[in-house]
Amino acid sequence: MIEYLLGIVIGILFGIITGLTPGVHINLVSVMLLSISAILLEWTSPLMIAVIIISMGVTHTFLDAIPSVFLGAPDPDTVMAVLPGHKLLFEGKGWDAVRLTVIGSLLCLILAIVLMPLFALIFPIIYSLMKPILGWILILIVFIMIIKDSNKKWAITVFIFSGILGLIVLRSEIRQPLFPLLSGMFGISALLLSLSNSVEVPLQVAEETIDVNAKDFLAIIGGAISGSFVALFPGLGAAQAAALSTIVFKIKEYAYLILVGGINTVNFVIALVSVYTIEKARNGAIAVVMEIISEIDLTRLIFFAAITLIVGGIATILTLKIAKGFAKVIEWIDYKWISLGIIGFITVLSLILSGWVGLIVLVISTAVGVIPQLCGCCRSNAMGCLLLPVIVFYVL
């Protein structure tokens, strides 16, 4: 037992690093652990390594809201939180924005664990029924998204441009394609506009100023269901689920951040159930876990579920405390230099992770990401960069 507690601590420490560092994803660290697993197994057990990876993954899904809100540097799973998070940041409520994502992460995690027995029963049925028509369902949802947009012409334009770019990038042999694609589309584009508008971050209030009402808790149900659903199918992730859930559950404003936080965490945790039920690992870190321990039986599923609850509770406290530190520090720093620093960091990291081609993708995706902000259509249409490739995958 002491060994596994140590694994939780190590995993949480890794999760803090990956969560707070833009571009350093848990999949990357998981693969690194897999590459040295032969050495690690001389000192510990496969289950211990699995505990480290799962603890790291859960912690990451809590803390990655901090750079998304305070720095505008999104993780692929939190790109949809950037706009509402930044809006609250410039109202002096950056800590509250993170708090809302933490509420979503923790409560959706608890609800998902409670519903795990039900998911284990229905996942094989849903998978067999939905897989043949999933592409058509996505087409219908995209159609609804565009129809509801106030500027339909530009909504279609942004969806098509971002979708074509996504098809090209994701079908190429570029390394880590999502990083330059999403960082430009949702990160650098917003930062550039902040620079052009001479934005200054106001004094941040590191205490609760936003009341969450009963209606907002619909986002908890939406997060648990959406996060669980996307864990079943390849190509769908937390970012796509957030874009689609706004249509299905009609979630707006503050509840949206609760939704994004919840989906992000549930998507990771429920991947364990998809491995157990349909033997498909829909998450890179979970796929690495399966490489190490080979299979997940009922006993291990219950054990891992308990680990996620323990880590989720600890990560909640850590995220809120670290976010308060960010709220106190960011007001003393010129946001222009923060924006320039993050743009430079993302640019260098794109070059390192994806090469010169990644740099080109970063520039093009940034240009596309600026369009909805200048033309007044919803930024969720830029999720075409991921939705269109998934639609093509299932329909064609």
**Neighbour tally for 294: CB within 10 Å:** 8
Evaluate if residue 102 carries a pLDDT over 70: yes
Bigger pLDDT: 235 or 381?
381
Q: What does the domain layout of the chain look like in residue ranges?
A: 2-149+213-333
**Neighbour tally for 23: CB within 10 Å:** 23
> In angstroms, what CA-CA distances link 190 with 85, 95, 296, 359?
12, 19, 42, 17
The chain-wide mean pLDDT, for the chain, equals 82
23-32, 225-234, 343-352: which is most confident: 343-352
* H or E element that contains 25: none
Give the model's pLDDT for residue 291.
81
d(CA 55, CA 34): 15
Confidence of residue 59 (pLDDT cuts 50, 70, 90): very high
Residue 91 sits at φ, ψ, to 5 deg, of -100, 5
Give the model's pLDDT for residue 284.
67
pLDDT in tens, 257-281: 888 888 888 888 888 888 888 877 7
d(CA 81, CA 261): 8
Evaluate if residue 348 carries a pLDDT over 80: yes
Task: Give mean pLDDT, residues 306-316.
Answer: 95
93-107, 202-216, 299-313, 329-343: which is most confident: 299-313
Would the CA dihedral through 114, 117, 120, 122 be positive or negative? negative
Give the model's pLDDT for residue 157.
93
Evaluate if residue 67 carries a pLDDT over 70: yes
Evaluate if residue 180 carries a pLDDT over 80: yes
Give the model's pLDDT for residue 252.
67
294: DSSP letter? -
Contact 205, 93 (CB under 8 A): yes
Nearby residues of 70 by Cβ (< 8 Å), 6 or more positions away: 89, 94, 98, 323, 326, 327, 330
**Neighbour tally for 205: CB within 10 Å:** 14
**Percent of the chain whose predicted confidence (pLDDT) is above 90:** 23
Evaluate if residue 109 carries a pLDDT over 90: yes
